[in-house]
Chains A and B, each alone.
Chain A
Amino acid sequence: NAGVIQTPRHKVTGKGQEATLWCEPISGHSAVFWYRQTIVQGLEFLTYFRNQAPIDDSGMPKERFSAQMPNQSHSTLKIQSTQPQDSAVYLCASSLDGTSNSDYTFGSGTRLLVI
């Protein structure tokens, strides 16, 4: 069990460029969550999927952020026209069934720096 795998570990983009972040959940886990971590805001919920279907994207900045889960083995978070304020660690987590008592396993995160 390799855990939740996130790639790349680090990404530097120029302002206005696009960034795509990848997440491979633990095999057999049906729920995938995306969070953003900054020193100022802490852990902010972005979006989540259960059985590949989008359940809640209430934390997503609507204009430039999008997320997909085309199959059960990976999810992507895409940021268009990146801005310096998008700089953060983006964490992906998976849980067995997405229920209230189902704990998360986090990936190591993608550290995004927009310059």
Chain B
Amino acid sequence: GDSVTQTEGLVTLTKGLPVMLNCTYQTTYSPFLFWYVQHLNEAPKLLLKSSTDNKRTEHQGFYATLHKSSSSFHLQKSSVQLSDSALYFCALSGTNTGKLTFGDGTVLTVKP
């Protein structure tokens, strides 16, 4: 079945530094990849998504590129802000059912 791996459980950074959150996936279908962000006591919200190989997608300063050759969809930002502190989920829709498989999530904490 489909699976998503996020290798970092917790990332702590100082404001202004760059960040990369790792996401790799496995599926036998043509993949759609998503990043969701969940702030404390809030619902997860879509950050960005892609199904196009080697095309960078951006939103709210975050960006990611789907690389089918390496089955990766890493999330990056060049300069993190305090407000970026949240839980980030990578998710995969590998079948044509619309069901998402989520990674375990990465908690990003940004310090002043």
- Chain A interface residues toward B at CB < 8 A: 4, 31, 33, 35, 42-43, 45, 48, 50, 55-56, 91, 95, 97-109
For chain B, what secondary structure do more than half of its interface residues adopt (helix, strand, loop), or is it mixed? loop
Interface: B100 (CB within 8 A)? yes
- Return the chain B residue nearest A96 by Cβ: B98
User: How large, as a class, is the contact surface on chain B?
Assistant: 20 to 34
- Chain B interface residues toward A at CB < 8 A: 30, 32, 34, 36, 42-46, 49, 51, 89, 93-105
B97 lies within 8 A of A55 (CB): yes
Given A100-B93, A100-B96, A101-B51, also A106-B102 (CB < 8 A): no
Given A43-B89, A91-B43, A103-B46, also A48-B98 (CB < 8 A): yes
